Structure 1
Amino acid sequence: MGDHRCVSRLVVSSAIYWTCTIGCAFADSFVGGHIFDAITKRPVAGADVYVEYSSRRIGAAKSDGDGVYRVPFVMPSTIPATAFATITASGAGHAASTENLQIMDGSSGAVKDLELYPIGLLECRSQAEHSVIIGNFLPPSPAGTLSDLSRRIAKSLEFSLKTRLQAVHLILDKQPSFEPCESAKPATSKLGAGYAKALKADAFVDGDVSHDKRLLGYAVSFYVSDAYDFFPDPQLASNRNLELDTPSAVSVSDETHLAVLASIAAGLAKRKDCATALQVISVGERLIEEPITSSNALRADYFAQLRKGCEEQLPNVGLRKTTK
C-alpha cells in the first residue's frame, strides 16, 4: 500500500515537473481555444502553440485531438496595464500563423480561436475588394507543354469578362481581380465555397482540362463556387475549344461567365452595394438566352433572386432589366 502511494506521488511529481518545463507551474495567465483548418473548418490536432512577449517565449503547448489548446504563461511584473504579446500556431501541413494577443492587467485568461492555412494558401488570400480565385486545374494527359494552368485560365477570364463589365461602365475599383492560386487543390469540388471564404474572394474556380485531337484548343470544365452560399452546389460550366496558349484570345463560354457574374453580384449585394450589383446583374441577364433553356434556367433564377433583393433595397434606382 505504501509503495502504491509512493509511486502515485512520483507520477504526480513527474507530471508537475514536465508541466513546469513549458512554463505552466507558476503561470499567472493563460490563453486557450480551438485550432481549425481555415478551409475545412476541421480541428487541427497536435498543433504547436506558443506565446511570446518582447521576443521572448513565455509559454507553449500542443492542441489535443479535438484541436483544443491551452497555453499558461507568466508575464513580467513590470508590464503596463494593457500589454500585447503574440500567439503563434503551426501544424503538420499547415503554415505558421501569428496573431496579436491583448493582455489586460488583472485578467487571468483569454479565449482565442485560431485558423491555420494549408501550406501554400496563405499567400493566396486576396487583397482586392472583389476577386475571383482560380485554383488548380487538372491538366490533360499527357500534359505536353501546357503549364501554369491557373495563371492561363485567370488571364482568359480576366480578358473576356472584364470586356463585358466595361460595357456597363463599371468603375475600375468595382471590377473584380482574377488571381491564380495553383496550390489551391480541393479534394472535392464541394470544398470550393470554403476556399472562396478563406481566401477572401467572391468566387473560387477550379476544374479540369482535356485535349481532343479533333479540336484546335482544349476542352475545359469549370467548377464555380461562391463565398456567400448563394449556389447550393458548385456550378459546372463547360468550354469546348479554348486556345489556352494565347489567353488574351480565348472566348470563354457564356455559361462560365454567368456563374462568375452571379458570384460577384452576390458579393456586392452582401456588402450593401446594390447599385453596382444591379449593373453586374444586367450583364448576366444579357447573356441569358431567350427562350430560357434548361442549361441556364437555374442561373436565370439566381439573377432574378438577386435583382429582386436589390430592387427591394433600392426601389427607385431606375435600373430595369435589360432586354436584347
Structure 2
Amino acid sequence: MLMVGLTGGIGSGKSAVAARLAGLGAVIVDADQLSREVVAPGTEGLAEIVAAFGDRVLGSDGALDRAALGALVFTDEPGRRALESIIHPRVRTRTAELVAAAPPGAVVVNDVPLLVESGLGPTYHLVVVVQTALSIRLERLTRDRGMAPAEARRRIAAQADDARRRAAADVLLTNDGTRDELHRAVDALWADRLLPYAVNLRDRRAADLPLPEQVEVDLPRPERVLVDPPRSERVVVGPPRPEQYARLAARIHRAVTPADLRIDYLGSMAIPASDSADVIDIQLTVPCLGDADGALAEQLADAGFPRLPEPARSAARWPERVHGSADPARPVRLYVREAGWPGGRP
C-alpha cells in the first residue's frame, strides 16, 4: 500500500485536505484523533498522565483537560518529553493496527501535525505539505478557533517554519485561495500521482515504463474508477533537486539492511542548476553484487524503487542492478553496484 504523510502548520487547512482525500477513497489515520483516543477516560494512558502531572490536568467530567495540560508542558521541556513518552508509543501502536487493517493496495494518508518536527518523512513514500500564508493562518485561528492573536502567533512559532516544511515536501499544496481551488488541487494530486503511484507500487512497476491508456484501480470502497495516466501539466512541482535527493536517500537508508550502505548522488543532476534530463541518478553500493538480489530488491520495491529489466550490456561491462521509481512525478535511476568495481565508484 502507498503510505502518504500529510502535514501542515496550525491553521493551514490540513484537515480540509485530509477530508477531501477521504472522500476520494484514501484511508485516513489521524494522529491528533488517535492522541485523544489513547488518553480517553478509563485508559491506561490517562492514568499515566494523571500520575505524572496530577489531578489538575483533569476536567470536572474526569476527562483530560488538554488546555490545562498544554499550559503546563508548553514551556517545560522535561514535562513535554514525559508527556510524549506516554502518548507517542500508544499512537504508534494504534497507527500500526489501522494500517494493517487497510485493504491491500490502499492509499493510506497519515495526518501528522508534527511530521517534520518529529523527522518522520522517510517513513512515508510521499510527504504532502499544506502551506498557507501567515496572515491567512492567523485570521483562521482567531476567527474559527477563538484564539487571541498573540496566542495564535505563539502556537505558529512553536512549530516548524515554512522553509523546513518545504524541504520535507514531495508535494506542496498552497491553500491561500478558496475551498474549491483547494479541492481541485487535491483531486489532481489524487488522480495524477497518488493513485498511479499506488498501482505501480502494488505491481512492482516503474512509472516511466509504458502505461496502458487507462489504469483501473480498486479503491477501498465499493465503486471502481478509471484514472487517466498522469498529465505533466498537472504535476505539482517539488523542491530543488538536492532536497529531493536527500529525501530519496533517507527513504532508501531506512528501507534497506544494513542501514549503513553507502549512497551517492550521481550524474549531471547532481550539479546545481544543471539542464540535464529530470531524472535523479542514485548509486547504492553493496559489499557483493549478489546482495542486490533477494531481500534487498524486495526492500527497495517496497520503498517505491522496483527493479528494472537488466540490459545485456550491463551484465557484460558494468555489473549492476538498476531500479526505477514507482512515483509518476519523480523519475529516478537507482544503480546498485558492488564496492570496488569501476562502475561502483562515484
Normalised-by-shorter TM-score class: under 0.3
> 1 or 2, which has the higher strand percentage?
1
Normalised TM-score (structure 2):
0.26
> 1 or 2, which has the higher helix percentage?
2
**Greater RCO between the two (CA within 8 Å, min separation 6)?**
2
Normalised TM-score (structure 1):
0.28
